[in-house]
Amino acid sequence: MNNLLIKDIKIAIIGGGPGGLTLARLLQLQGASVKVYERDIDQHQRQQGATLDLHDESGLKALTAAGLIGEFKKHYRPGADRLKLMDEQGNVVFSDHDEKLADDFGHPHFRPEIDRGPLRSLLINSLTENTMQWNSQFVSMEQLNQQWLMHFKNGKTDLADLVIAADGANSKIRPYLSAIKPIHSGLSVIEGHIHHAQESAPQLNMRLQNGKIFALGKEKSIILSAKGDGSLSFYAGLKSTANWIEESGIDFNNKSSVFNWFKTAFSDWNPLWEELFTADEVYFVARAMRHFPLDQSWETQSNLTMLGDAAHLMPPYAGEGVNMAMLDALELSNSLTNVRFSSLKEAISTFEQYMCKRSAEVTAFTLEQTEALHAENALPYLVELFSDQD
């Protein structure tokens, strides 16, 4: 390893999710000058979304390289990877809750779960003071000599020699690299988050047992995840057109509007699941499941690149999104500090070529899984899949 490529340059990472934070940590271990620009007001803003399962060959590999696997083991949730498979009537057709619990770090099928908040916190706490630039929502940037002059919504500007987009599915920086637009997968989901699930959704919370539920039937899905703070997150997925969310007429800020949609769209499901949409403290977000073309590429620049969802968005049904972002961070940091590269452009080009190839393979697999989980025989397919795992 060698630091010549990143010596005496200012590196800006746009986005403080797991990918961007992992990259910041890895680069700081190599002596780089790094700032992370994050739109949130501070570290304590609530982290919504399902729990994250990290994989041995990607997310956990990156944390190990970052020297943070010990911290991860302090904050992950043993048993949160426990799973029940259910049909649309609420019948359990598979459960691993009675199997012996084993923390098999290093086993390819062991995918420990951690809530987004604790993962983010352990990454942030590993960074040097003043790395995080809070309340810094990216607006635009332009070239100034060999640097980027970045503009933020708070009115501030800053200069960087190298900008890395880690700003997610709706990246504002991706267009500076690529004009390729995402493709609709044929599926949309309503994401929900219920606070105080024991009181607000007691029947489903009891069935969760602090783990996960995959309910499949009638070419639709509901996936639930318990969280360590007593809340639960869920995705209700169904086949749709690309513009369904905009054309549906549903007010996703109105609980009654969403509930009326659910009672119609999932009318062939047991009323048990309605509890998700009638909880006292619940919020909804509609998401069209999109992905980038498998053959995407772009012209490498010497002072700009991207990782994670900004680079290779994909549906969440294989649990690969966060893992690919963290692996991107590891591979990019390795490229930027590799002695065999004589320029930043060469290092970035090698990283991007390999990332595009790897992410294309993972996206293809994820799309296969997404389709399989919303097919007529989805439930027996998934039961067989989990039953075959050691």
Sequence ranges of the binding site:
46, 53, 116, 309
Provide the total of helices (H) and of strands (E) in the chain, helices listed first. 13, 17
Look up residue 10 and give its amino acid: K
Which residues in 19-31 are b (16+ Cβ under 10 Å) and which e? bbbbbbbbbbebe
Closest CA to 301 of 164, 157, 159: 164
> Residue 33: exposed, middle, or buried by beta-carbon count in 10 A (0-12, 13-18, 19+)?
middle
Q: Whose structure tokens read 């009672």?
A: 263
Ramachandran class of 147: left when φ > 0, alpha when ψ lies in -120 to 50, beta otherwise: beta
Q: Which residues are annotated as a binding site for FAD?
A: 53, 116, 309
Ramachandran class of 86: left when φ > 0, alpha when ψ lies in -120 to 50, beta otherwise: beta
Are residues 136 and 280 in contact, defined by beta-carbon separation less than 8 angstroms? Answer: no
Which residues in 322-344 are b (16+ Cβ under 10 Å) and which e? bbbbbbbbbbbbbbbbeeebeeb
The whole-angstrom separation of Cα 16 and Cα 23 is 10
Which residues in 226-247 are b (16+ Cβ under 10 Å) and which e? bbbeebbbbbbbbebeeebbee
Q: Which residues are annotated as a binding site for NADPH?
A: 46
Q: What is the DSSP string of 70-84?
A: HHHHHHS-TTTT-EE
The whole-angstrom separation of Cα 46 and Cα 310 is 22
The whole-angstrom separation of Cα 279 and Cα 199 is 9
The whole-angstrom separation of Cα 276 and Cα 117 is 22
